[in-house]
Amino acid sequence: MSMSKVKVTPKFNSEAKERAFWGSHDSCDYIDWRNTQAVTMPNLKRSTKTISLRLPGGLRGSIEIEANKRDMPYQSLIKSWLVDYVKQSRNP
């Protein structure tokens, strides 16, 4: 889409209608990239906390194998498993 034909973003009277709209429209059609500016957020805090977890080598190796089967980093797989476990524990 050419820059001179940027569409006007409609007004929404509910979040559900806005979500439905953006689910079926490309936001690039509604942005004039000539007017954008870089933004820095120096006070933005990370939403995750780093922890140290000691695992036996064999266990870590097994987790890495499972992660490779899923084509994902082993840390992400561990987080996914933890989320699933906590959800199940809270909703027996």
Domain extent for 19: 3-34
49 occurs within a structural domain = no
Give pTM, 2 decimals: 0.49
Predicted confidence at residue 4, as pLDDT, reads 63
Whether 15 maps to a domain, the answer reads yes
Q: Is 44 part of any domain?
A: no
The reply to whether 43 falls in a domain is no
Q: Considering the domain boundaries, does residue 39 fall inside one? A: no
pLDDT for the residue numbered 13: 93
Angle between helices 74-90 and 57-69 (to 10 degrees): 90
- 92 residues of the chain, pLDDT tens digit each: 444 688 999 999 999 999 999 999 998 888 888 878 888 888 888 788 889 999 998 999 999 999 999 999 999 999 999 999 999 998 87
How many domains, in total, are found in the chain? 2
In a domain, 71, yes or no: yes
Tell me, yes or no, whether 47 lies in a domain: no
Q: Residue 55: its pLDDT value, please?
A: 93
Q: Report yes or no on 30 lying in a domain.
A: yes
The pLDDT assigned to 2 comes to: 45
Choose among 67, 86, 85: nearest CA to 76.
67
